[in-house]
Amino acid sequence: MNPRQFLNPWVLFGAAVLLTAAALHNDYYLTLINFIGIHTLLVVGLNLLMGYAGQISLGHAAFFGLGAYTSGILTATYGVDPWLAMLAGMLVCGLTAFLIGVPALKLRGYYLAMATLGFGIILYIVFNEAESWTGGPSGLTGIPDLSLFGFKLDTPKRLFLLIWPVLGGIMALSANLVDSRTGRALRALHEGEAAAQSLGVNTSRLKLMIFVWSALYASLAGSLYAHTLNFIAAASFGFMFSIKLVTMVVLGGMASIWGSFLGAAVLTVLPEMLTMFHDYEVIIFGVILMVVMIFLPRGLVRGIMDLWEFRRYKKEGGIIG
């Protein structure tokens, strides 16, 4: 194997996962990393929609919740096999996304943002009010552990070994999608809808496809979340979580699969680190949101790279082109 191949990001990713599994035994860090994984899954999907297709969604938490509740209700209340329930969740989510997407994706800019926001809030209220199904605000208990080949995935370590390889697969799949013909069409769409149409791209079908696609990721993430916590409550799927997801996308960098991981990781770990500030945590979170958006609108990675390149150019006396 030559060194170039060895530096392939996917190989590195696999190595990092294996290394973490072998060396990390602290349940707290594993749980934290599992949540990072679940959030990354959500953000990768949302990034396909926002970064590549250029469509905003302020209601993505609803799909996350729909997946989680379908899995939760089917397994806890009706005793359906968790894997089957997971598929059912994706089916429900995909179908909902399709039905909402057809009228919603005709809208643009703030109108699309508002439609997705409204959809998200309506579903949140349904999760809260349909107590007989969802357990309402007190939550749905008794969601069983997943099991694989007779192994019960009941510890953070075992869940880690499910979530991260799944995530790796999804990220690889997304990277492939982005590099494919569809991906090129998507980028054309992002640059300008009229231009893309003139190139023979069926833009409304493409937008819808990506919308459904990202809902499927969210559903999968929701199911994994339900089986990780063994408990879900409506409060996790509200408006603020949708906003947090969008922030993760932007923080990590639009149209960047790896950036999605970074955005999810930073925004999942940050509140944990801010707990020492007690009541000031919220203020700091707000300031970070604003400062990053003002000074690094292209996300952390590219923002820092830009700054770095800027300095290097200055040092070499070059002119920024």
Partner 1 sequence: MELASLLQYLISGLTNGAIYALIALGFVIIYHATTIINFAQGEMVMLGALCAISIYHHYPSLPVAFVGGVVLVTIVGILFERLALRPVRDPNPLTLIIITVGGAVFLKGVAMILWGKEAYSLPSFSGDTPFHLGGATLLPQNLWVMGLTALVLLALESFFRLTLTGKAMRACAYNPRAARLVGISQSRMVLLSFALAAALGAGAGILIAPLTLGVYDMGTMVGLKGFCAAILGGLGSSFGGVLGGLILGVAESLATGLISSGYRDAVAFFILLLVLFIRPQGLIRGGS
Partner 2 sequence: MRSRGIAVILVFLMGVLLLAAGCAKGPETEPYVVGGIFSITGPASYLGEPERNTMEMLAASINAAGGIKGHPLKVVIYDDEGDVTKARLHAEKLLTKDGAISIIGPSLTHTSMTVLDITQKAKLPLISCAAGVGITAPADKRQWVFKTAQTDQMAVSRIYQYLQKQGTTKVAILTVSTGFGVSGKGQLISQAPQYGIQVVAQEVFGEKDTDMTPQLTKIRGTDAQVVICWGTGPAPALVAKNMKQLGLTLTLIQSHGAASQKFIELAGDAGEGILLPAGKLAVYTQLPDTDPQKAVCKAYADQYQAKFKKPVSSFGGYAYDALNMLTKVLNQSGKDKEKIRSGLEGIKNYVGVSGVFNMSPEDHNGLTPAAFVMVKIDKGQFKLVD
Binding region for partner 1 (CB under 8 A): 50, 56, 58, 103-104, 106-107, 109-111, 113-115, 117-119, 121-122, 125-126, 129, 239, 243, 246-247, 250, 279-283, 285-290, 293-295, 297-298
Least distance (Å) between residue 78 CB and partner 2: 20
Residues ≥6 apart with Cβ < 8 Å to 169: none
What does DSSP assign to residue 140?
B
Give dist(CA 1, CA 313) in Å, integer: 36
Q: Could you tell me which residues are beta bridge partners of residue 41? A: none
Residues ≥6 apart with Cβ < 8 Å to 173: none
Least distance (Å) between residue 142 CB and partner 1: 24
Q: 1 by DSSP, 3-state: which?
A: coil
Residue nearer to partner 2 on the CB measure, 100 or 255: 255
Cβ(263)–Cβ(247) under 8 Å? yes
Least distance (Å) between residue 78 CB and partner 1: 24
Q: For residue 307, what are the CA distances in angstroms to 41, 130, 263? A: 28, 50, 18
Least distance (Å) between residue 97 CB and partner 1: 14
Element spanning 292, H or E: helix 281-295
Give dist(CA 51, CA 70) in Å, integer: 28
Residue nearer to partner 2 on the CB measure, 10 or 110: 10
CA 10, 250, 66 angle in degrees (round to 5)? 80
Residue nearer to partner 2 on the CB measure, 26 or 198: 26
Q: Between residue 215 and residue 244, which ones bind partner 2 under the rule CB under 8 A?
A: 229-233, 235-236
CB under 5 to 8 A by kind: which of partner 1, partner 2, none does 289 bind?
partner 1
Q: Which stretch binds partner 2 (CB under 8 A): 8-16, 43-51, 80-88, 191-199?
A: 8-16
Residue nearer to partner 2 on the CB measure, 105 or 234: 234
Least distance (Å) between residue 268 CB and partner 1: 17
Q: How many CA atoms lie within 13 A of 80 on its CB side?
A: 16
Residue 128 interacts with partner 2 (CB under 8 A): yes or no? yes
Residue nearer to partner 1 on the CB measure, 87 or 126: 126
Give dist(CA 279, CA 258) in Å, integer: 32
Residue 180 interacts with partner 2 (CB under 8 A): yes or no? no
Classify the C-alpha dihedral 107-110-116-122 as positive or negative: negative
Residue nearer to partner 1 on the CB measure, 114 or 172: 114
User: Given the rule CB under 8 A, which residues bind partner 2?
Assistant: 7-9, 12-13, 15-16, 19-20, 23-29, 31-33, 35, 128-129, 131, 136-139, 141, 154, 156, 229-233, 235-236, 256-259, 261-262, 265, 271-272, 275, 278-279, 281-282, 301, 305
